């Protein structure tokens, strides 16, 4: 690697990688245009969100991580691998926050082999602990994309038909060393409805493009670390439901604390730590009881070990409703004194505000910061929510 002049090196590859994007936007600086590309992509995605799209909410995702020699490259700081691990930590947290009843597994590829280091599981803490321990992984040899895909497929195949199946590949290498024809694997992924997306850390690789295209996933090459983060976090939004994904009604339990006013709760053992090596099961009061068999758990969501019922809390499910019921879209309009102040943050509009944003549902006007805040974080339009004719979020809208 060109380590004497890392700046120029980064700029050059950056240029190569952004070739297509830069072309559309011919004048302008590289830094500015990266921020621009991210911002534009965000708006485009935002506008695509609408009521009534069927999404795969019960997601089962394998993250297949390249741990080959190419990941030790320093074009991301400190290395591609370290940068990836750091970003993945934040990703796991956010993913489970937004996809409360989904699961992630992790597979690594190095030395032409694939290794499953974490089975599908639904608890961010477990994943983050694992990622922290991964930094000692030896980055050797070439990856085998086929082996990684086959391993994930074997596990995803076993899932019930209403489960959304996905693979996310993070690939630093430009080559893959496969035992047989990878096209056969791609065909079976397609047949089993597994959506494969790839984030490339270097340059475009033909087979990755084929994989993503055929399975309905997306393929992107990062421009720099902030773009990497943006691409990764795009995977947090649940994808449209795959064709052939069956829908069903799933029986679930909503445990509540068992307490009778005025009485002390008995000390009981929880089921979650019964056979865990590092944390012993403790006698505690409180906890969540399976409404079907009364086993106790100290955390939700969880699948009851005794009777198999999925246990969740109502706010857990509510965390993902905004994917299905997004806030009304805002339209950019030229500021012509339509309103003195922003309806949300109460900021006075002035000459600097050339563009303001109008809610297409309630007709109130917002500043650009509120537009971003409402659509990225809040997911409820303050104008719609304070108006008796628009406050109810329904899918029929």
Judged by CB under 8 A, the number of residues near other proteins is: 64
By CB under 5 A, what part of segment 341-360 binds Zn ion?
Answer: 342, 344-345, 347, 359
> Which one of other proteins, Zn ion, none interacts with residue 11, CB within 5 to 8 A by kind?
none
The binder of 304, among other proteins, Zn ion, none, by C-beta within 5 to 8 A per type, is Zn ion
Residue 134 binding Zn ion, by CB under 5 A: no
Nearer to Zn ion, 87 or 384 (CB): 384
Smallest gap from Cβ 10 to other proteins, in A, equals: 28
Yes or no: say if 87 and 229 are a contact pair by the CB < 8 Å rule. Answer: yes
User: Would the CA dihedral through 266, 267, 269, 273 be positive or negative?
Assistant: positive
Q: Applying CB under 5 A, does 124 fall inside the site for Zn ion?
A: no
Asked if 272 is part of the footprint of Zn ion (rule: CB under 5 A), the reply reads: no
Angle at which helix 182-191 crosses helix 206-215, to 10 degrees, equals 20
Question: Which residue of 41, 128, 368, 378 would you call a contact of other proteins, by CB under 8 A?
Answer: 378
Q: Which is nearer to Zn ion, 46 or 292 (CB)?
A: 292
> Using a CB cutoff of 8 Å and minimum separation of 24, what contacts does 194-197 make?
194/152, 194/153, 194/156, 194/165, 194/166, 194/167, 195/164, 195/165, 195/166, 195/167, 195/239, 195/242, 196/149, 196/166, 196/167, 196/168, 196/169, 197/166, 197/167, 197/168, 197/169, 197/235
Does 305 interact with other proteins (rule: CB under 8 A)? no
367 and 352 Cβ atoms separated by less than 8 Å = no
Q: Which stretch binds other proteins (CB under 8 A): 12-20, 83-91, 184-192, 320-328?
A: 320-328
Binding mask 369-388 for Zn ion (x = CB under 5 A): -x----------x-xx----
Q: Which of other proteins, Zn ion, none has residue 349 at its interface (CB below 5 to 8 Å by kind)?
A: none
Q: Does residue 267 interact with other proteins by CB under 8 A? A: no
Round to whole Å and give the CA distance between 95 and 98.
5
Q: Which of 52, 78, 244, 266 binds other proteins (CB under 8 A)?
A: 52
Query: Could you say whether residue 271 binds Zn ion (CB under 5 A)?
Result: no
306 near Zn ion (CB under 5 A)? yes
Residues 323 to 342 in contact with other proteins, rule: CB under 8 A? 324-325, 340-342
Q: What angle do CA 62, 76, 221 make, to 5 degrees?
A: 55
- φ, ψ for residue 61, nearest 5 deg: -120, 130
Query: What would the x/- binding string for other proteins be over residues 64 to 103, using CB under 8 A?
Result: -------------------------------------x--
The region of 33-41, 175-183, 187-195, 318-326 touching other proteins under the rule CB under 8 A is 318-326
- Please list every residue from 123 through 182 that binds other proteins, using CB under 8 A: 161-162
Three-state secondary-structure class, residue 320: coil
Environment class of residue 223 by beta-carbon count within 10 Å: exposed (0-12), middle (13-18) or buried (19+)?
A: buried
SS3 189: helix
Count CB atoms within 10 A of the CB of residue 252.
14
Q: How far apart are the first and last CA of the chain?
A: 55
Q: Which of 22, 58, 85, 153 binds other proteins (CB under 8 A)?
A: 58
Site residues for other proteins per CB under 8 A: 52, 54-55, 57-58, 101, 161-162, 241, 246-257, 259, 291-292, 309, 312-315, 317-322, 324-325, 340-347, 369-370, 373-374, 377-382, 384-388, 391-393, 395
């Amino acid at each position: 690697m060109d380590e004497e002049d890392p700046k120029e090196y980064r700029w050059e590859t950056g240029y190569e990688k952004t070739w297509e994007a830069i072309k559309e936007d011919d004048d302008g600086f590289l830094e500015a245009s990266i921020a621009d590309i991210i911002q534009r992509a965000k708006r485009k995605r935002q506008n695509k969100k609408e009521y009534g799209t069927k999404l795969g909410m019960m997601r089962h995702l394998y993250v297949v991580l390249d741990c080959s020699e190419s990941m030790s490259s320093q074009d991301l700081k400190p290395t591609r691998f370290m940068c990836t691990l750091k970003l993945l930590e934040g990703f796991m947290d956010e993913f489970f926050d937004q996809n409360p009843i989904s699961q992630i597994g992790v597979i690594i590829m190095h030395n032409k082999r694939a290794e499953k280091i974490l089975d599908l599981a639904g608890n961010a803490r477990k994943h983050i602990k694992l990622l922290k321990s991964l930094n000692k992984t030896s980055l050797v040899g070439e990856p085998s994309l086929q082996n990684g895909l086959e391993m994930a497929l074997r596990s995803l195949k076993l899932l019930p038909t209403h489960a959304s199946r996905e693979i996310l590949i993070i690939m630093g290498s430009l080559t893959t060393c496969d035992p047989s024809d990878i096209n056969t694997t791609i065909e079976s992924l397609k047949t089993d409805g597994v959506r494969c997306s790839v984030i490339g850390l270097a340059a475009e690789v033909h087979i990755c493009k084929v994989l993503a295209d055929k399975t309905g996933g997306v393929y992107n090459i990062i421009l720099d670390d902030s773009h990497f983060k943006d691409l990764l976090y795009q995977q947090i939004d649940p994808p449209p439901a795959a064709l052939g994904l069956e829908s069903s009604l799933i029986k679930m339990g909503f445990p509540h604390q068992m307490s009778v006013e005025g009485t002390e709760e008995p000390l009981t053992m929880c089921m979650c730590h019964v056979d865990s090596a590092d944390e012993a099961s403790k006698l505690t009061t409180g906890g969540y009881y399976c409404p079907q068999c009364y086993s106790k758990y100290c955390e939700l969501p969880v699948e009851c070990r005794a009777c198999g019922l999925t246990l969740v809390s109502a706010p857990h499910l509510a965390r993902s409703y905004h994917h299905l019921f997004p806030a009304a879209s805002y339209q950019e309009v030229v500021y012509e004194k339509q309103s003195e102040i922003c309806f949300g943050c109460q900021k006075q509009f002035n000459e600097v505000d050339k563009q303001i944003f109008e809610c297409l549902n309630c007709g109130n006007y917002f500043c650009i910061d509120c537009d971003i805040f409402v659509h990225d974080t809040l997911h409820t339009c303050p104008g719609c929510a304070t108006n008796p004719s628009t406050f109810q979020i329904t899918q029929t809208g």
